[in-house]
Amino acid sequence: MSEKLQKVLARAGKGSRREMETIISAGRVSINGQVAYLGDRVEGNEQIKIDGHSVSLQAKDEEICRILMYNKPEGEMCTRKDPEGRPTVFDRLPKLDSSRWIAVGRLDINTSGMLLFTTDGELANRLMHPSQRVEREYAVRVFGEVNEAMLQRLRAGVKLEDGPARFQKISYRGGEGRNHWFHVVLSEGRNREVRRLWESQEVQVSRLIRVRYGDMEMKRQLPAGGWTELSLPEVNYYRQLVNLTPEVKSKVKVDEKVMDNAKSRRIRRSVKKHQSRQQQATRRRRS
């Protein structure tokens, strides 16, 4: 059975289907030495290259969908490599042999919290796509005067430069003086959308933390800069959420506790070691 080229490349860990469609359209992919075109199908025994580099194909029945939950700290870039040498969210992720981690959406450099990574490009694409209406919840600290009329406008919808936008839910979580905490919910992930919505009301966001993606919340014991791999039931929650078939295999042991104090301490030690290596590398670059 043949499959679409972009689907095979996504499964090989080269990016999401949408990203693969873009590079195919740009003429960067070849099949058996011939330039590939969008719409091409492959059997799986062809020699496929991207920018002249061979792609190691993975049979569909050998694929294991994996998902990581990462607690992104402020100051990290959502890119694989930063030209300025700043730390990225990919720096500490476990190495993969025949695929790669794909970020499910992005958080800007000043935003922290829950970020998902998966080896399945189709899953990543569906979880990000606005048509799936997957909820994202953020804890937001704002600076400025906030009144009920303003909150009603944010719920009803305001016009941004890239179209109308609104919060599906807003709940007040306390504060002092002109600093207030709110939890807000969106079902799309436009660039800096949370910040831009508040700024449309002349209110400044001073802290932004993603705390939930879908119905799954950030694990409380996961330290900033740490990651944990999701169990098979958790992986299948996200797959079924976007109408993909359930997975039957997992790299996580069945009897492994999802998160306990001992595991949290191990992750914290690992994060500190990584931060120490980063600081040493930074000092060497500056010297």
Q: Which residues are catalytic?
A: 108
Contact 71, 222 (CB under 8 A): yes
Backbone φ and ψ for 240, nearest 5 degrees, come out as: -70, -25
What distance in Å separates the CA atoms of residue 106 and residue 192, rounded to the nearest whole number?
A: 10
Other beta carbons less than 10 A from residue 102's beta carbon: 22
- Cα 193 to Cα 286: distance, rounded to the nearest angstrom: 35
Counting DSSP H helices and E strands in the chain, the numbers are: 7, 17
Tokens of 203: 């209110």
Read off φ and ψ for residue 285, nearest 5 degrees.
-65, -35
